[in-house]
Structure 1
Amino acid sequence: MARSADSKTGLAAVAEAAAQSPARGLPPVHLWNPDHCGDIDILIRRDGVWMHEGSPIGRPELVRLFSTVLRKDPDGYCLVTPVEKLSIRVEDLPFRAVAVERRGETLVFTTDVGDLVEAGPDFPVEVETDAATGEPAPRIRVRADLWARIARSVFYELVESAAVEDSRLTIRSNGAVFALGPAGAGVE
């Protein structure tokens, strides 16, 4: 695809595309089908820190901006603009759910990039358990196929507020019921 001499590429194009999204809305990345342009040296570490060329991206506004053009495709995570698709690496999940608040019948999670997610049928809470260690790995869908790892302290809050149903700890939000794990097992 030919580009004009003044068209931006790489990080500049990603930042420009993300900045065009109104307020804290999200650009329509699901509608963009650009050519794959290669990899960009961005890593989202297991602890949620975004790295570029081995150094942390220190500006939260820039991380937020990049998070709005993040997408997970069958070939992996990528940052997309209307004209470019750049692969990135993610060690675990791209986001962290760092807070939860009950608003009436709804659990509202806040991610490390400022997204608010109302748990419910379209945004489920799931808990996988490591077969070897028994350690829970809770997560919530943020959008499309992008998930947030629920921070341990937030998971403890959920466990403390859980009900026991059919020998399982459960929470409810927006009419949906989510299992956290077996009752009596606790969280280590």
Structure 2
Amino acid sequence: MPSDTAPTGLQGVADAAKAAGSGGLPPVHLWHPAHCGDIDIRIRKDGVWFHEGSPIGREALVRLFSTILRRDPDGFHLVTPVEKMKIVVEDAPFIAVRVDRDGEALRFLTNVGDAVEAGPDNAIRVEIDAETGEPRPYLHVRRGLEALIARPVFYELVELAAERDTADGPRLGVASNGAWFPIGPAGAHLA
């Protein structure tokens, strides 16, 4: 538990994250602090982080918080060795804002600075909205956390896509690091 003199709330989480993350990504999956609560942080669908209704304007602070984000069965939490604070995430916590083809790999960059290679451990998946038919593409980033693939980046994936015959019929998809990911329903590209 934090001491009576330790900062609480946003500043306390920021201080703990700085201390914990000095050598790469902190091992949040190993931390199970006794103190749990809520903090008024919300990540909007467009990837903007808010605290108490106002956007968090310091990019470095958002990047810092992104390193201590964890998804548990009951939702998303900022986790430090001494605190676990629940936050609200409207869709995916990150946005994939860039993709580059490098040999057999697709390399993505997120809005919080994560560099992720798609492949067996970092799958691309596309949900189709039942009402509008619009795709919602995602990339696994780390430990159950995903990035929504921004629309311009998804268009780049479509340009890189190739058709494959599947059990459901011909589908467009992309390959990366030995894995193939369909990016739309069977036959959608033929319509």
TM-score normalised by the shorter chain: which range applies? over 0.9
Give the match for residue 171 of structure 2: 168
Deviation at 1:8, TM superposition (A): 3.2
* 8 Å contact from structure 1 (residues 14, 69) kept in 2: no
Matched, 1:40 2:43: no
Q: Any idea what SS the aligned residue of 2:107 has?
A: strand
- Whichever residue aligns with residue 80 of structure 2, its letter is T
Deviations 1:57-105 (A, max 9, x none): 0010000001011111111001011011111001111000000011111
Question: What does residue range 1-188 of structure 1 map to in structure 2 within 5 Å?
Answer: 1=1, 3-20=2-19, 21-22=21-22, 25-166=24-165, 167-182=170-185, 185-186=188-189
TM-score, normalised via structure 2 length = 0.91
Task: Work out whether residues 100 and 154 of structure 1, in 8 Å CA contact, stay in contact via their aligned partners in 2.
Answer: yes
* Paired letter, 1:180: I
Separation in 2, partners of 1:138, 1:4:
43
In the comparison of the two structures, how many residue pairs are matched? 184
Q: Structure 1 unaligned runs (5+)?
A: none
Secondary structure at the aligned position of 1:102 is classed as strand
Q: Distance in 2 between matches of 1:26 and 1:11?
A: 19
**Contact 1:29-1:69 within 8 A present in 2 as well:** yes
> How far does the alpha carbon of each residue in 1:12-32 deviate from its partner, in whole angstroms, 9 at most, with x for none?
232122213235x21110010
Amino acid at match of 1:46: K
Q: Distance in 2 between matches of 1:155 and 1:84?
A: 36
Inter-partner Cα distance in structure 1 for 2:47 and 2:114: 14
User: Does the CA contact (< 8 Å) of 2:35 and 2:82 recur in 1?
Assistant: no
Q: Which structure 2 residue ranges, 5 or more long, are not aligned?
A: none
For the residues of structure 1 that align with 2:180 and 2:151, how far apart are their CA atoms?
Answer: 20
User: Separation in 1 of the partners of 2:37 and 2:127?
Assistant: 32
Measure the CA separation in 2 of the matches of 1:29 and 1:13.
16
Deviation at 1:183, TM superposition (A): 6.3
Whole-angstrom CA distance in 2 between matches of 1:82 and 1:104: 39
Identity over the aligned pairs, expressed in percent? 66
Aligned-residue CA RMSD in angstroms? Answer: 1.4
In structure 2, distance between residues paired with 1:152 and 1:36: 39
